[in-house]
Amino acid sequence: MAAWENSPLLKGKVIVVTGSASGIGFETARLCTAMGASVLGVDVTKRFDHVEEFYRADLSDGRAIDALVDVLPQGIDGIANIAGLPPTAPADKVLKVNLFGLKRLTLGLMPKLNDGASIVNLASLAGFGWPQSVPAIRASESVDIDDVAAFMAQHDITNAGGRSYFFSKEALIAWTQANRWTWRDRGIRMNSVSPGPVDTPILGDFIETLGARAEEDMRVMDRPGRANDIAPVVAFLLSDMTTWIRGTNIPVDGGMSSNILCEMHGLI
């Protein structure tokens, strides 16, 4: 355990962590607990490690999300929206869990958040190209989780080339930025973290889906990320040290996004 993990950075805070049973979600729950938070874990898989309380919920189901909102307590200081599905999952499920369910849960919990709360959305390097998807992103703003199939058909969003996953992360980054000041009167802020390839149980799903693109990324990187590379940045954003960071997407990708930008602008 790193020495800074014993820091009381989140002491006394109540933090909801979705996807708390594995990967980055598990590591985030563990780290937040080590830093003094009471963690309320949410996942479809029961696992009680490093959480104060556990709530089982399917975040692709609108009714399950509404029920979760009902049973979670008042006085929440932070939400770490980590739960997500890889591009090998059915496309509608990917969009529901990674985007529409995340939004429904977050907005549903807004009355239960304390003033000064922090919301951290786990996006991805896959969302880097969001400016090219603005029309579909705008169209997604009014889509309910139960209407995802019609939206996908209209905008030709399928699993081909991992498009469902890429769009879910593009829209999530845009949603985070668009809500930079939405709850400013209550001091509630929203930011996102964008990992590159991370060595979690679903890394193989990305390599399988993206093929040569993933192989090229892995060639450029010195190594895949690890869950414990990502969780500290999430914990930092949940802390009171970051009240002036709003609507920001932080790449935690070993330099991959900087590499892409340098290539785009002729600096390589």
| CATH code for the domain of 55 | 3.40.50.720
Q: Which amino acid is at 76?
A: I
User: Between helices 101-109 and 62-71, what is the axis angle to 10°?
Assistant: 30
- For residue 211, what pLDDT is reported? 58
The pair of structure tokens assigned to 9 is: 């950075």
Structural domain count, the chain:
1
- For residue 224, what pLDDT is reported? 85
Question: Using an 8 Å Cβ cutoff, are 43 and 25 in contact?
Answer: yes
Residue 239 falls inside a structural domain: yes
Residue 106 falls inside a structural domain: yes
pLDDT in tens, the chain (268 residues): 676 677 899 999 999 999 999 999 999 999 999 999 999 999 999 999 899 999 999 999 999 999 999 999 999 999 999 999 999 999 999 999 999 999 999 999 999 999 999 999 999 999 999 999 999 999 999 999 999 999 999 999 999 988 999 999 999 999 999 999 999 999 999 999 999 888 877 667 666 665 566 666 667 778 889 999 999 999 999 999 999 999 999 999 999 999 999 999 999 8
Within its chain, how far is the Cα of 169 from the centroid?
Answer: 8
Residue 220 falls inside a structural domain: yes
Tally of CA atoms within 13 A in the half-sphere of 189 that contains its CB: 18
Residue 166 falls inside a structural domain: yes
- For residue 237, what pLDDT is reported? 98
For residue 173, give the H/E element and its range. helix 163-178
**Could you tell me which residues come within 8 angstroms of residue 244 by beta carbon, excluding any fewer than 6 positions away?**
none
Question: Using an 8 Å Cβ cutoff, are 42 and 55 in contact?
Answer: yes
- Tokens 């909801």 correspond to 16
The pair of structure tokens assigned to 97 is: 């869990």
Residue 103, CA distances (Å) to 60, 106, 222 in order = 11, 5, 34
- Tokens 């149980």 correspond to 201
CA distance 267 to 78: 39
Residue 100 falls inside a structural domain: yes
| Closest to 101 in 3D by CA, of 130, 64, 128 | 64
SS3 81: strand
Residue 72 falls inside a structural domain: yes
Residue 118 falls inside a structural domain: yes
- For residue 208, what pLDDT is reported? 67
Pair type for strands 189-195 and 76-81: unpaired
Torsion of CA 236, 241, 245, 250, to 10 degrees: -20
- For residue 221, what pLDDT is reported? 78
- For residue 219, what pLDDT is reported? 72
Q: Is 147 exposed, middle or buried (0-12, 13-18, 19+ CB in 10 A)?
A: exposed
For residue 120, the enclosing domain spans 9-263
Residue 26 falls inside a structural domain: yes
